[in-house]
Amino acid sequence: MVVKASNPDAVKFGCELAGWIKDKGGEVYIAPGLASRIKPSMALDPEEFAGSIDVMLVLGGDGTMLYAARLVSGTKIPILGVNLGGLGFLTAVTVGEAHRLLERIIKDDYKVEERMMLAVEVERAGKVISAHEVLNDAVIKGTSARLIRVEARINREYVNTYRADGLIVATPTGSTAYSLSAQGPILYPTIHSIIVAPICPFNLTNRPVVIPDWMTVEVTICPDQSGIDLVLDGQVDVKLECGDIIKIKRAKTSIDLIRYEGKSYFDILRERLMWEVKVDRK
């Protein structure tokens, strides 16, 4: 169980679920810092979760889910996200729906949805200095209000030199995150594609593009640039220098999100984005 510790409702619900799971014959593992607040549970370092659990239960918002996804990336351990945060595109299950879905999980009667991830490498002077996997996006952006200048290539073919606040490379899952604010498209989460979206570009004709998942995006930091960061899933920062090459492609690993079959992706979009509700006219 991964719980948003700063959310009292998430901690309270974690205690309720831990007792319920224990009564059903299961064991709950949780990070040492929270094990004393959520009982009954067993303390376990999060880095050891992948080798010890059958299901990852996430109580919080999408940020909590992104952290949890990195813990079990590549293991095929299914993840159930319960929304106790903000918008909750990834943690789409409500508190009221959680028990019913957990009952089905215990009976091994549930379905999962595979979500692709991106492998991100930073190359400096011919050596890889940083490597990560992300579920939502990799964002290259300046730390000040000035525009940055980066050169983008796709499959080694020159695309554009962007002058912008930054550049987002996102998965379909990440299409409803930062990319959406940058006027990027909404992609159905199981589509195998990659979004490349500039943030507030100087040239307004620089629009987001969508490419197939077998292509590789290479972004080079242009000369005389400073104060640029690579931000991974909004949680991990890597300082960049002139000449650094950021290589982004589909990761070999993916994650499996447990689906609540009574709710479609379009139901979630309507709820979260407050789209017009269909009126049944009789």
Mind telling me the catalytic residues?
A: 62
- Other C-beta atoms closer than 10 Å to the C-beta of 181 total 12
- The one-letter amino acid at 67: Y
Q: Does 198 sit behind a cis peptide bond, omega within 30 degrees of 0 on the bond before it?
A: no
Helix, strand and coil percent figures for the chain, each rounded to 5:
25, 35, 40
| Region for 261 from its dihedrals, namely left if φ exceeds 0, alpha if ψ lies in -120 to 50, beta otherwise | alpha
At 65 the three-state DSSP class reads helix
CA atoms within 13 A on the CB side of 24: 16
Sign of CA dihedral 137, 140, 142, 143: positive
**DSSP label at residue 197:** E
CA distance 199 to 16: 42
Long-range CB pairs of 237-244 (<8 Å, 24+ gap) are: 238/122, 238/130, 238/132, 240/122, 240/140, 241/124, 243/124, 243/125, 244/122, 244/123, 244/124, 244/220
